[in-house]
Structure 1
Amino acid sequence: MLRFLAPLLTVFLCLPAQADSYITRLLNKPVPGGVAVVDLGTGAQAPKATYQGKPVLVVREQDSRWLAIVGVPLTVKPGSQQLAIREASGVRNLAFSVGSKKYPEQHITLQNKRQVNPDPADLKRIEGELAEQITAYRSFTPTTPSNLLLDKPVNGPLSSKFGVRRFFNGEERNPHAGLDFAVPAGTPIKSPAAGKVILTGNYFFNGNTVFVDHGQGFISMFCHMSKIDVKVGDAVARGGVVGKVGATGRATGPHMHWNVSLNDARVDPAIFIGAFQP
């Protein structure tokens, strides 16, 4: 059903304006780690929007109405937030509200204690790898994404949800920034939308990793892969295979980890596959 609906994005974008549009019903989950859909009004040209100083994805709902699709970082506190909208007449601020959401905890035991407390050489490696990945997450191209309703990269049950507070060997670390799917090693990983490969690598925590830019800062990241089947610069079709499931990096077993990022904010991929839970 999801695969059937996603190609109809362009049709939905041409529907008459509604108080609660299809895109808003699908994506508007304005909580920390969620997405806020903000009506930017009408105009002949797409307004340029920024949030926390970073450019935001803007799509056309119909012939004259524009929507900002804003990624809300997990660190944002509930309350009022501001978009900066740059138009021909100047810059204006537009407020939107962020609600609250409580995320569960997950306790994981790792045999490799360096993956909990890396040694100095590991830390130097991690620092360089983090810089590469931050640069990729902050990529912003003018391309409009092919679809906002995404396909699952693999078919399988979820083994870990987004936003979970993670404790490794009893020590708290960063919250889980994506979804984990419990699927066997070697399962093909498919791109949930068309895009361009902007980064690949083998990283200390993530293992074999691929970043795909879907356009306007809408980015998928896949990691812990056993094999990478693409290279930087490759154009990937929706459903195109980017690699295979594995257990490289900091992983207790084979699974597929998928991040989604908007305006350099990691957000819950469940929103884009119709599986979000408040």
Structure 2
Amino acid sequence: MPSRTSRPTRRTALLCAAGLLALPRLQAAPAKKPLPPPPDVWPRPALVPGGVARLSLGPSATRPQAHSGELPLLVVGDAIEWTALVGIALAAPPGEAAITVAAPGEAARRVPYRIVAKKYQEQRLTVSPRTVDLSSEDQARYEREREHLAGVMATFSPAVPAQLHMQVPVPGRRSSSFGLRRIFNGQARNPHSGMDIAAATGTPVRAPLDGRVVDVGDYFFNGGTVWLDHGAGLLSMYCHLSAMDVKPGDQLRAGDAFCKVGATGRVTGPHLHWSVMLNRAMVDPALFIDA
């Protein structure tokens, strides 16, 4: 027979079990809310030929000076963190690269980065043979223009742009993208160094940022052309224009109309060719605009 103490033991066990069931359930720790996405940065980084490297330089009381080889670089930010913006040339080979940085009172240091290969598309076009196989006269003109434009592209004004988020200079369909390898009449040429936007002749072209006009001309390949200096090695170029309503030295505000779409130079129809140059490297304009 069971002992007298067996019943209280069973009762106690039942009470304990009931008590355990009565305890409030432990609440799981609330899931952490996802961090908000970082604010948009301009230009967007792309460590590829034709892209832009954004390299952190850390804190400094004054703006550091950064160089890619002998070329000064655009440095943005504040005393908490400075960032060097490096335009990567379309001809840059994949692999290791570096810039040099010097802050007042500090020794120069090396900041490395790595360029990743990118394959751009190809496009075959048929144009007037005289724009591919140049006559001696046209070749001489091209050489003169190339020398002049090298001086334009070397423009560097110390003022840093107030902003780097650009507006598209003309509405329209993108008819050709940056980096496209073009083959004219079966002959390969350099990759496309800008963005083509299809628009009717006479459509106003507007400045994507504040800028100063540094060159206005009519060139063999580019036709009617205007160059703008936005500061610190950031330039932009507008080609195949039908009208140029500015002169060198004019100051523009973002959104100002300053020229008109055309079909001058080597073209197959009216459109705007828009290029962006950073530290003398043509880079993809799409990195500066909304997707």
Give the TM-score normalised by the residue count of structure 1.
0.88
Shift of 1:90: 2.6
Aligned match of 1:77? 93
Which structure's CA Rg is the greater one? 2
Q: What residue identity is the alignment partner of 1:27?
A: R
1:253 to 266, 269, 282: 269
Closer/same/farther in 2, CA of residues 240 and 233 from structure 1, 3 Å limit: same
Q: What residue identity is the alignment partner of 1:136?
A: V
**Partner-residue secondary structure (3-state), 1:174:** strand
Q: Please, what is the CA RMSD of the aligned residues?
A: 1.6
Aligned match of 2:18? none
Shift of 1:198: 0.5
Aligned match of 2:60? 43
Aligned match of 2:187? 171
**Partner-residue secondary structure (3-state), 1:173:** strand
**Partner-residue secondary structure (3-state), 1:27:** coil
* Distance in 2 separating the partners of 1:266 and 1:121: 28
2:45 to 20, 28, 33: 28
* Distance in 1 separating the partners of 2:175 and 2:186: 20
Could you give the per-residue CA deviations for residues 124-162 of structure 1, whole angstroms, max 9, x where no partner exists? 111111122121122111111132110000011100000
**Partner-residue secondary structure (3-state), 2:147:** helix
Could you give the per-residue CA deviations for residues 233-260 of structure 1, whole angstroms, max 9, x where no partner exists? 0001101112000000001110011000
Contact 1:26 1:274 in 2 (8 A): no
Shift of 1:226: 0.2
Closer/same/farther in 2, CA of residues 193 and 25 from structure 1, 3 Å limit: closer
Structure 2 unaligned spans of 5+: 1-34
Contact 2:42 2:287 in 1 (8 A): no
Aligned match of 1:266? 282
Aligned match of 2:178? 162
Q: What residue identity is the alignment partner of 2:58?
A: G
* Distance in 2 separating the partners of 1:75 and 1:87: 30
Could you give the per-residue CA deviations for residues 61-103 of structure 1, whole angstroms, max 9, x where no partner exists? x442111111000111122110011222232111012112110
* Distance in 1 separating the partners of 2:43 and 2:210: 19
Closer/same/farther in 2, CA of residues 42 and 21 from structure 1, 3 Å limit: farther
Stretches of 4+ aligned residues off by more than 2 angstroms: 20-26
Contact 2:193 2:275 in 1 (8 A): yes
1:90 to 94, 107, 117: 107
2:158 to 116, 131, 142: 142
Aligned match of 1:207? 223
Q: How many residues align?
A: 255
Closer/same/farther in 2, CA of residues 151 and 24 from structure 1, 3 Å limit: closer
Shift of 1:23: 5.7
